[in-house]
Amino acid sequence: MTISSSSSSTPFWGHPTSTLDWCEENYTLLPYVAEFWNTLSNLAIIVPCLVGLYNCAIAGLERRFVLSFLGLLGVGIGSWLFHMTLLWHYQLVDELSMIYASCIFLYCIVDSRYTTGLHGLGLVTGLVLYAVLVTYMYLHNKNAVFHETAYGIQVAGIMFLSYLKSRTAPPRIRILFPVAITMYLSAFALWNVDNHLCGHLQLLRAYLGVFAPVIELHAWWHIGVGIGSYLYVVFSIATRMRELNQRVALTTFAGLPIIAPNKTPHSKTSNGKDI
C-alpha cells in the first residue's frame, strides 16, 4: 500500500518516509512502534536464525550456512526496524537484505561441484553483480514492484533448484522442502490478501476487538516466511552434506529441527537416525 500521511501530530519516529505502509493501523498500541504486530512478528524470523547460528556453532557447519542465517537475521532485524519506524532507510535495510540473503541461498543450493574453484568464483561474481545492480536501480527508482520482481526471480530460482535436489533426497530430508515451500507460499497468499483487501480487513478488525490481531495478515507473512526460510536452510544444509558424502542426523532444539552432522562416510552410526 502506498503511504499517505494526513495526521497533524508528529509520531514518535517522525512522519513516515517509507514508500510503503501496510494494513495495520499506525501507532495504535504503543507510541514508539508504528506497526506493533508487524514489528513483533519478526521474532518468527529472528529467533529461528539464532537457533540456526547455534546449530552452526555446535555442529561445525560450513561458513556458507552461517552466512545464510546471518543474511536471514538481517532481514528480520531490518523488517523490525522498518515496521517500527516506517522510515525509508530502514525500509532499505529490510528489502535489500531480502535480495542479499537470497543471493546466499542461491549460492548454497547450486550443485556443490559449481561452488568451488573457478566455477565458484564465477557464481559469486554473478550473484554479487546481481545484488549490486538491483541495489543501484532500487535506490534510484524506489519502485516497490521493481524490488518485488527482482526478489521474486530469486525465489523462483531457489524453488526450482531445490525441487530438483529434493527428488533424490531421502524422505526425512525431502519432507523439509515441501513444508518450507508450503509455509512460504501460504504466507505469500496472506501478504496479497492483506494488500488487496485492506479496507475490508480494517473494518472487520474494528468488530473483532481483542481478537483483531488474528487477522493482521502481514504479521502472519512474517511468521510463515521466518519458519519456512529456516526450514529451507536446514534442507539446504542436509543436501549439501549428502553431496559431501556425510551422514546427516536430525534432532530438535527449541521446537525446530537442527542438524547434528557425523563427518564420516555413509555407514552405521550410533548417533542419530539414518537418513
**DSSP secondary structure letters along 161-198:** HHHHHHTTS-HHHHTHHHHHHHHHHHHHHHHHHHHHSH
| Band of pLDDT at residue 275, cut at 50, 70 and 90 | very low
Question: 22: annotated binding-site residue?
Answer: yes
> Domains in the chain, please, with CATH?
36-262 (1.20.1070)
pTM: 0.90
Model confidence at 266, pLDDT cuts 50, 70, 90, reads: very low
Mean pLDDT, residues 260-269 = 52
Per-residue pLDDT at 261 exceeds 70: no
Q: What is the pLDDT of residue 9?
A: 82
Residue 113 parent element (H or E): none
Q: Provide the 3-class DSSP secondary structure of residue 253.
A: strand
- Is 95 among the annotated ligand-binding positions? no
Among the residue ranges 6-20, 80-94, 171-185, 203-217, the one predicted with the least confidence is 6-20
- Whole-number Å distance between alpha carbons of 53 and 47: 10
- pLDDT at residue 267 is higher than 60: no
Is residue 218 marked as binding? yes
Q: Across residues 76-87, what is the average pLDDT?
A: 98
Residues 6+ apart with CB under 8 A from 65: 52, 56, 108, 233, 236, 237, 240
Element (H, E) at 107: helix 88-109
Q: Is 83 annotated as a binding residue?
A: yes
Which residues share a beta bridge with 155?
Answer: none
What is the distance of C-alpha 195 from the center of its chain? 19
Report whether 200 belongs to an annotated binding site.
no
Consult the annotation and say whether 13 binds a ligand: no
**pLDDT exceeds cutoff 50 at 206:** yes
13, 84 Cβ separation under 8 angstroms: yes
